[in-house]
Amino acid sequence: MMSFKNYLILVCVITVVVVATASDNEDFYKLLNVARDATSKEIRQAFKKLAVKLHPDKNKDDKDAETKFIRITKAYEILKEPESRKKYDLYGDTGEDKKHNYHSYTYYRDVFGIYDDDPLITTLSRADYELSIIDSSQAWFVNFYSPHCHHCHELAPTWRKLARNLEGVVRIAAVNCEEDWMICHELSIDSYPTLLFYEKAARLFDGQFYNGKRTLEDLEDFVISKLTADVVPIQDEIWDSDEFKKQPWLLLLCPPNNPNCPERNSQIKLATSLEGLMSVGLIKDKELSKKFTSDYIKNPIVFWQLTEFSEIHIVGGSDFKEIVENVLSLLPDLQHLNDEAFSDARTRLRLGSDKPWLICFYMGTATQLNLHLKRLPAVLPHMNLGMIHCGKNADLCSSLHVNHYPAWGVLKSGGAFELHHGQNGFHEIVTFAKDSSKSTNLHALSPADFYTIVKDGSGAWFIDWYAPWCPPCKRLMPEIRKASQHFSPENVKFGTIDCTLHTNLCSREGVMSYPTTTWHNGSKVHHFRGVLNERGIIEFVEDMLNPKVIELDSSTFGRLETKPENEMWLVDYYAPWCNPCQMLAPELRKLAKQIADIDYIKIAQVDCDANPELCSAQNVRAYPTIRLYPLGSKGMNTVAIYNSHRDAMSMKSWLTGFLPSTVEKLDAKSFKKKILWKSYVLPWLIDFYAPWCHHCIHFEPNFIATALALEGVVKSGKVDCETERVLCRELKVTSYPTVILYLSPNERVFIDSQDKSKIISLVKEHIKKGKQYVKDEL
């Protein structure tokens, strides 16, 4: 094996200082002849093709050869990395001078991208590595290599044969550690080649190192030993049960001494390939084998097909792949659609007279694709399934922005169409189909759509600005689909905009990164800040639909200027473009929701971009500026400035210090004297807390407000259990906050709520019961 250190020493490259020669408007995608949503593999393949054609070593008579080669090298190096590609998509080429490395002609011809041209080997990068290997439908076997490693080149032919032998069984992949050294470093890959095996649904660091011989037979035996699919032994009495006959089976008729029976490895490959489609059974009983075919020695494989009447098919094949293909040929094909059929289906869906469609866009055929297609009817019974050949329907595929194969899309009820941008594993496709078909409130938007329905004030919209190649965008899309299902289109609609297709629109709308999510309601735009998952999006949308934060402008600012003494206002003066303001916004909404029960506290915002004169008059010089106008003062006569951490908890703790309180702080001595050692007319309501407890800080203003509401009904107090640990232990208070109602020194009731109105209701109820008990006693 070649060590990482030796690899660095052996690498010999030509370093060239590049002066920006490309024109400002040169398009790197056109330079490499790839689409703007091209995958990393497509970009590498395009670059290799051009590198071999345009390399200076091959074009010595062309004085501009080096300049041309530097241009394509620069384009490749920018587009191959997600971060630099994102910046290029948003801002174009900045024209900065930069050192670029390029290699000899033979390197690009013989070494660069060893596996890029092999369709059965998936070349993974740092951007998609984790997304790929977390696959619940298949295991992965990954080869980490260096293009300069002699042993890696020796392994390459074997690795290609392994991919052909295991097609449809496991995914065979490769990682170029010269191109993607960060993922190799993260996984502690320090020699080449290194082989890692990932079982189904594995996590990033679950890979198992292969340390055996690198022969085809040894590698294949290792993979087979890791597979978990069952070949089910079947006996005569078992087969007679209805449970077995009510499912499709591939049956291997293998009584002793049958020379034509598939070997054990082939049996396991068949069971793994067909998992989820049919079971594979092994019959060793001679008489039971004869029930399926008398010529079981010559034809040892039969397919028990479950139709209206069970059918038995003889299945031929010299190896497992041929057997699988022959079995698949016996299953019904998906419907093939052309331009006209697609248009008719869309019309029916707009009229509500058809089921949604899952459509596979393809070129050519492949075993892996056929396996997916044949499995789908069983798991998606409530959807139409179709195929569109993009070689025969090029205009249709182009209009739907399909430019890689296979691609999957859903035609939804109502006529909306959505392409799948995630992984092409079976589980991912099924999940996409189910979520997308339900997500009729999610629309792919063009620039014309955006300006017509969003800018012209057609209700509220939640918009996701994305790039199909962007890994975080791929993770977010399923979350948006699920979130969109929680809202009626009458209240809010959801849209997606592909920034690789609509670059100018994204630039005009100030999209600075992928994904960017925004809320539009007429001229009002709010940037989403929070957790980018289903729950986080739902909470954000609910906040936007039912805002707890008051929006003040020049026409409504009088509410604050005429504030009565019995109100407290916390006001955020902000600018929409200010990043700290954007970070503050979700925390402010969270704070407003937490204190919504305290009706005399108002949380408000002023957009200083939209109201510059107002903010100038208030001497606002920086964003965000947070000011508190407390109780006891009219209008804006008294103000306090907040300058601490801008999270909901910190702001709430600070705000609580301005609340008038009837809550008495008690230590152990005063608690015993006032509550445990003497009788009292008014019961006591006590909050037991700890100063480090976040729930306690969250609860404190609610308890203060509750105490004010119950003034004259109970006396209120609080005990710091960090300071008074012995007392709290004696009272058996073990969690915080704990609220206890003391009706008398010997009678206490635990109040199991932190909601103001609920506490008030429970306290009054228990006091009433206590009085009734005393009355009955008398």
CA dihedral of 419, 421, 426, 430, whole degrees rounded to 10: -50
Query: What is the DSSP code string of 215-242?
Result: SHHHHHHHHHHH----EEEE-HHHHTSH
- Neighbour tally for 187: CB within 10 Å: 18
- Give, to the nearest 10 degrees, the angle between helix 426-438 and helix 367-379: 40
CA dihedral of 57, 62, 67, 69, whole degrees rounded to 10: -40
Tell me which residue of 461, 421, 416 sits closest to 439, measured CA to CA: 416
Q: How far apart are CA 19 and CA 436, in angstroms?
A: 47
Tell me which residue of 477, 532, 466, 429 sits closest to 82, measured CA to CA: 466
Q: How far apart are CA 227 and CA 271, in angstroms?
A: 10
- Residue type, position 172, single letter: I
Q: How far apart are CA 110 and CA 10, in angstroms?
A: 17
Which two three-digit tokens encode residue 473?
A: 């965008």
Q: Which of 581, 608, 696, 728 is catalytic?
A: 581
- Neighbour tally for 394: CB within 10 Å: 12
Which positions ≥6 away from 568 have C-beta within 8 Å?
600, 601, 602, 628, 629, 630, 631, 655, 658, 659
Active-site residue, 578 included: yes
- Residue type, position 696, single letter: C
Q: How far apart are CA 408 and CA 297, in angstroms?
A: 42
Q: How far apart are CA 693 and CA 679, in angstroms?
A: 32
- Neighbour tally for 399: CB within 10 Å: 12
- Give, to the nearest 10 degrees, the angle between helix 694-709 and helix 648-656: 40
Q: How far apart are CA 489 and CA 496, in angstroms?
A: 15
* Partners of 313 in beta bridges: 303
Q: HSE on the CB side for 535, CA within 13 Å?
A: 1
Active-site residue, 581 included: yes
CA dihedral (92, 97, 103, 104) positive or negative: positive
Asked if residues 499 and 450 have their Cβ atoms less than 8 Å apart, the reply is: no
Q: Which residue has the tokens 């955020």?
A: 572
- For 699, counting Cβ atoms within 10 Å of its Cβ (0-12 exposed, 13-18 middle, 19+ buried), the class is buried
Q: What is the enclosing helix (H) or strand (E) of 337?
A: none
Query: What is the DSSP code string of 470-529?
Result: -HHHHHHHHHHHHHHTTS-TTT-EEEEEETTT-HHHHHHTT--SSSEEEEEETTEEEE--
- Neighbour tally for 595: CB within 10 Å: 25
Which residues are marked as active site? Answer: 578, 581
